[in-house]
Amino acid sequence: MAALQHSLTVRRLAKHYGPTRAVDDVTLTIGRGQFVTLLGPSGSGKTTILMAIAGFVQPTAGEILLDETPITPLPPEKRNFGMVFQGYALFPHMTVAENVTFPLRVRNVARAEAERRVAEALDLVQLGHLKDRRPSQLSGGQQQRVALARALVFQPALLLLDEPLSALDKKLRAELQVELKALHRRVGLTFIYVTHDQEEALSMSDSIAILRDGKLVQEGPPGTLYERPATRFVADFLGKSNFLAGRIVERRNDGFAYAVDGARFVQHGPPPAGDDVLIALRPEKIGIAAEGEPAPNTVEGTITAWSYFGTSFALIVETAAAGTLQVTVPAWRCPVEPAEGRRVRLAWTADASVPVVRD
């Protein structure tokens, strides 16, 4: 399958429905061949952006460009984008092969060429052996792979995916995440993916754009967003986080110290403007330290609740200085037996946490 890579730019895009700003001045560039995910809670404007890219929603303001060409006024069929949705929308009376042939029939592709392309698309999603089945004879995951083959068979300029895995159970979803990422590598097309599932976004994307109330709040590679969330919302939405609200008490070249309820902690990196600071601290970056073990930041507390997840323990620790902290410890090397009422000494390094903007 030819790798036709295109970039897509959304420039100052807005969509208003009466007083609702479904999309509010969003600017975003998706590079050639990238897998970019629009991530945000329900109602944050993800689908509206995707539908505007597809041509089903006419924006109130702004532009959409494929490479450098404005496509905003083009109807969906002129954009030649592949689409995959949550519901598979397969034709129940047609076989797998007939479903995948459908977009080629609409485009009057000659029969021999169509057969060749359908075989190629079915191979791509590893469903060649099931081509004569009907959708009702397939599992949910297989149906979604047929939908993918159907969206790829006409060599679209881009592939748009709106929560395609959300109807599947957790294990199958995880398998299809791996498959989708491999498929993206094989076809080389630009993928634009919509989800509200942060793990899905983290595991598949080259880049994630986080949306809230129609606005783009931060974009970047998954690792950067997870390690360096700019705001409290991003830190909270992408993974879990504790927050420490403090006052800066010392500024140094390599970082700063801040006070929370009389306790003093240190933070690596440049201090934010002003004296107040909000620090995001991931549960897995807090360790349990032995008595007397030196650590840059420590706080004593009492375990008030805990759960076992096989790979890890999740502890809730009530501390005097830092409030209630969530702590995740790998189960195979948890230094204490978790128990309600047990005292623990928590520790973290100066680069384990990150200052964030309150929002």
Residue 44 interacting with ligand ADP (CB under 6 A): yes
DSSP label at 134? -
* C-beta separation of 327 from 314 below 8 A: yes
Residue 46 interacting with ligand ADP (CB under 6 A): yes
Name which of 45 and 59 has its Cβ closer to ligand ADP.
45
Name which of 52 and 151 has its Cβ closer to ligand ADP.
52
* C-beta separation of 341 from 303 below 8 A: yes
Residue 43 interacting with ligand ADP (CB under 6 A): yes
Residue 40 interacting with ligand ADP (CB under 6 A): yes
CA distance 161 to 174: 16
CA distance 277 to 167: 41
Name which of 208 and 281 has its Cβ closer to ligand ADP.
208
Residue 17 interacting with ligand ADP (CB under 6 A): yes
Residue 22 interacting with ligand ADP (CB under 6 A): yes
Residue 156 interacting with ligand ADP (CB under 6 A): no
| Window contacting ligand ADP (CB under 6 A); options: 46-54, 110-118, 125-133, 310-318 | 46-54
Residue 277: φ, ψ to 5°: -140, 145
For residue 9, give the H/E element and its range.
strand 8-17
Name which of 43 and 255 has its Cβ closer to ligand ADP.
43
Residue 45 interacting with ligand ADP (CB under 6 A): yes
Which burial class, exposed, middle or buried, applies to 100 when counting CB atoms under 10 A from its CB (0-12, 13-18, 19+)?
Answer: buried
Collapse the DSSP code of 347 into the 3-class scheme (helix H, G, I; strand E, B; otherwise coil) and give the result. Answer: strand
Q: How far is the CB of 177 from ligand ADP (least distance, A)?
A: 19
DSSP label at 270? P
Name which of 194 and 299 has its Cβ closer to ligand ADP.
194
User: In the numeric block, which tokens belong to residue 85?
Assistant: 């949705």
Collapse the DSSP code of 17 into the 3-class scheme (helix H, G, I; strand E, B; otherwise coil) and give the result. Answer: strand
Residue 20 interacting with ligand ADP (CB under 6 A): yes
Residue 150 interacting with ligand ADP (CB under 6 A): no
Interface residues with ligand ADP (CB under 6 A) are 17, 20, 22, 40, 42-48
